[in-house]
Structure 1
Amino acid sequence: MHTVGLPRTCLGFTNILFFLIGLIGGVICIWCAINTEFFREVNYTVTRSSLVSSIADFVNLKLWVTPLTSILIPIAVVTMLTSCCGILGAGCRMKCAIKSYIFLVTVVSLTAFWMFFMSGIYNIYTGNEKTRNYLRTTILSSYGRENDVITYFWDYVMVNYECCGATSYRNFLDSKWRKANPDMLYPVQCCKLENKTSLVPVSKDCGRIEDASILTNKDFGCLYALQIAIKNNKGKIVFYIVLLTFLYLILILFAYCIIRGQPLITSMSGGFTGWRPKGKEEANAVTTNSSLDNMLFVEEPPKKIVRVVSAVNPRQSYTFAPNAYAQGDSTTMYPHTIR
């Protein structure tokens, strides 16, 4: 890290990688928004992977009335724009580009941290009442819609964490889903499942009748299940927070190094040079006001000299010259003796 080339190289390759990720994500979203079936056919023919269908289904989900592609495309554009600023700053040493990169990375990082860790994990971990009520509201108003992000979220959580509703199966009793499915008390995702992929319950009548012999998760709320999962993985979450913070600081330090045009160690220590203790020679130095830098030079006006010869003493003459430092047209007379 003793040269500027290493931060430039690392920052450049990192932003090229993020630019490609944003470009690929944007192309996938635009392609699926135009023709999803064509995207499935082409990519499945090439890759032979079932992941293609999962990606296509996910990007076509709707958040309330907005397709998820309309949210993911702007995110991809912001990612590419931020990466372009980083590439220009690292490759061309454009200070305006690298400053814009620092600003965009900071804003995006703080927004993601607040939404994911603070609004999500922290509020669930503490059992925030507003979060609890919001989760209940999403079940009442949005669960059960076809190709919906909220329905996908609840199905995923209930199947993988073996829970039911926000607090229990009672959250579904007055929901729109229950009105559309009057013969069901709660979704099949709340049941103990033999096969999670095909949603085959262990008890055939699970979700339809109240019976103590039915194997179900109907009384175990997902909010409690998520709290337990967060507590069990608290160390991993802290590790990821520290790791992401460290990576963010590394990127900012690399960008700062490029702005300063100095090696990384020199740039980091540059802020402390002003606080170093003064030596004896600097402490004993006396500042004077007589230096040439502090002097103001005024151009003097041209002098008019008149010489007068005395009639009494021809050897003596007088010179009349204007006084540049006196007010008005004052003059000073200087006697001279001619030999």
Structure 2
Amino acid sequence: MGPQNVSTVTEFQLLGFQNLLEWQTLLFAIFLFIYFLTVTGNIIIIAVVSQDQRLCLPMYTFLQHLSFLEIWYTSTIVPPLLANLLSRGHAISFPACMAQLYFFVFLGATECFLLATMAYDRYLAICNPLRYTSLMSAELCTKLVAISWSAGVSTGFLPSLMISKLDFCGPNQIDHFFCDLPPLVQLSCSSAHTTEMAISVLSIAVLCICFFLTLVSYVFIVSSILRIPSASGRMKTFSTCGSHLAVVSIYYGTMISMYVSPNTHLSPEISKIISVFYTVVTPLLNPVIYSLRNKDFKAAVRKIMRRKCGVYGVRVKGSFLVR
């Protein structure tokens, strides 16, 4: 008789930050505030890009998709985390856990592809400004966005499928604040060597390759910036690109440390701290850095605010005239 799936676990208990019981209320307030800022900020970015015709450029199309992605990416993780902090322990069913795992991997991989694409777009804009319009056409932009999303969707299937096929006989407590790959592999009562190796190979393929392509693009960008004759121009451009690279490095660095070397098991406390960076912090920082460091975007925000305030002012004035 062949081997059968002997899984008896029907739900998992997410322990979250139970080692910080006295800080639960403060952590809830902090994460809720960051989540509110992340969702609100990204919605504003999407709305501004949609309303201003001057922002109908590939760079802002990529930014719009990144903002849309970050809303769903952080919403996959933070609301269950907030529920966990309120209840001091959160039960999640096996199917819901697998669904959260899939969307986490799918959206995280899509972000990697989008960040690499955005770095390539900046490389073309800075290193080939005269040919940028012809090189980064609207058709190519659409194709790159479609490839990024499609590759992310495909990437999410393998880890979630392989994890769902493992046997979970108990215990069912995940010492984490979401259904992440390493703690789930550690809970399995069946041999997970093949799963660990597959996840490692997939992580290297997605994270390391995307990070390498992003890094190469910024190397060419920096070399081009150094050739700018104006010192103020060099500093301004380098400051903007440096901010982008810093946030991208935080995202890739924390992700690589977690998933490229599955045999190097970090302590649960360290894993949680690292996970906070790429699930809570970078969804806020990425769009903020890409938008607030851009003068055209800030000009578009001011224009929309003046228009809205102007309309409001006319209505107020009209009401006084009626009186």
- When normalised by structure 1's length, the TM-score is 0.28
Determine which structure has more spread, i.e. the larger CA radius of gyration. 1
- When normalised by structure 2's length, the TM-score is 0.29
